[in-house]
Amino acid sequence: MGSEFPDVAGEEPFRVFIGYDPREDVAYQVCRRSLLRRSSVPLSVHPIRQADLRAAGLYWRPRGPTESTEFSFTRFLTPYLAGHRGWALFVDCDFLFLHDPAALFALRDPSFAVMCVHHDYAPSETTKMDGAVQTVYPRKNWSSLVLYNCAHRKNVAALTPDAVSTQSGAFLHRFMWLDDAEIGEIPFVWNFLVGHNKVDPADPDNTAPKAIHYTSGGPWFERYKDCEFADLWINELEESNAEKAAEDEKKKGSAKNN
């Protein structure tokens, strides 16, 4: 399938790193599938697994009480894991992509070190997901979807295993290693926060989500099984399960014939 975004249709697949938490494996699988099936350009998708990073000596930060997921801080290793070259996307696992991610990649601007949605988000609830503490801080959710200019000198200098394992949460989540002018902005439709962002009926083209973020919890948690846009996520899961079942049947048939 050809891409309508030729500037990102290079020979090397675009690298995507998804935050992984064992409690949300199904969310990771659905997020990954939604990216791959809608992309018009080749993707190389990698889960950021904390256990693997610890085993490799790349992460040694103690788990803190405000960390709602295992990738609360490991996300900032994205440029390092990408070899500090080119561009890469980090995204939380609780996303569902509805649109070709090549359109997101096409927004890259080399004058910025990172690009993200500049949310003004202050949740009122005190817990989220399966009872995790809901913390409120400046630039909350900015780091949940980030296009990283991995070779930018400040990312190379600041986002090392040592820094990600030792720097404060404020330093990392508020992008304090950068000047404000080095933080580019992406339209909010690429990080559409369920329960916060709304579709404007008068302007659906510019307000309808291109990537849904179930930031407080998605339908894989009992508490959020009826949340807004739950049906879209469930449809994606059911389609994935149907494909896997068909593939399993095909393999059984091949084995029987052999």
Tell me what the mean pLDDT of segment 226-247 comes to: 94
- Chain-centroid distance, C-alpha 111: 22
**Encoded tokens for 152:** 């930018």
The 114-116 sheet, strands edge to edge: 43-48, 14-19, 87-91, 145-149, 114-116, 183-185
Give the pLDDT band (50/70/90) at residue 69: very high
Top-confidence residue, 62 or 258 = 62
Helices 230-257, 25-38: crossing angle, 10 deg rounding: 80
What would the pLDDT profile of 109-152 be if each residue is shown by its tens digit?
A: 999 999 999 998 666 564 445 645 446 657 889 999 999 999 99
What is the tally of structural domains in the chain?
1
Rounded distance between C-alpha atoms, residue 59 and residue 105, angstroms? 28
Question: Is 46 within the bounds of a domain?
Answer: yes
Element (H, E) at 48: strand 43-48
In a domain, 157, yes or no: yes
- Determine the structural domain holding residue 105 and report its residue range: 6-257
Q: Provide the percentage of residues in the chain whose pLDDT is more than 90.
A: 77
pLDDT in tens, 181-199: 999 999 999 999 998 999 9
Mean pLDDT of 35-49: 97
Is 1 domain-assigned? no
The CATH number linked to 245 is: 3.90.550.10
For residue 138, what pLDDT is reported? 75
